[in-house]
Amino acid sequence: MSRETSKVGKRGAVVIPASLRRRFGITEGSLVIVEERAEGVLIRPATDFPLEMYTPERQAEFLLSNAVGPKDYARAKQAVRKMGLNVRKIPHYKPVRS
């Protein structure tokens, strides 16, 4: 493990030494996690993942298409109606009767 000294600047900015930035893939604009630890502060790289938001129609499609059997499909239809949507207007697959 390497150690390097850095100064705290205005507004609490800390410069991470270039060798450590390269080693951990930290570039300008990168996200980092700053954690309080008993022995001090830990700064480590963070990753972010885009959050996919589904429209009510897409949620209804999931409910209807993933129903397993007639009873489950009936429950899904009821849930879609509670969402204020028309089941007939939602593109989906109906479960195969077994």
* Cα distance between residue 67 and residue 74, in whole Å: 9
14-29 per-residue burial string, b: 16 or more CB within 10 A, e: under 16: eeeeeeeeeeeebeee
Q: What is the mean pLDDT of the chain?
A: 91
Give the pLDDT confidence score for residue 98 in this predicted structure.
53
Query: pTM surpassing 0.85?
Result: no
What are the tens digits of pLDDT across the range 25-62?
Answer: 999 999 999 999 999 999 999 988 888 899 999 999 99
In the chain, domain spans? 10-45, 50-98
User: CB under 8 Å to 77, separation ≥6 — which residues?
Assistant: 64, 87
pLDDT at 1 over 90: no
Give the pLDDT confidence score for residue 94 in this predicted structure.
85
Q: Taking a C-beta distance cutoff of 8 angstroms, is the pair 90, 63 a contact?
A: no
Query: E-strand spans in the chain?
Result: 32-37, 40-45
Q: How sure is the predictor about 22, in pLDDT bands with cuts at 50, 70 and 90? A: very high
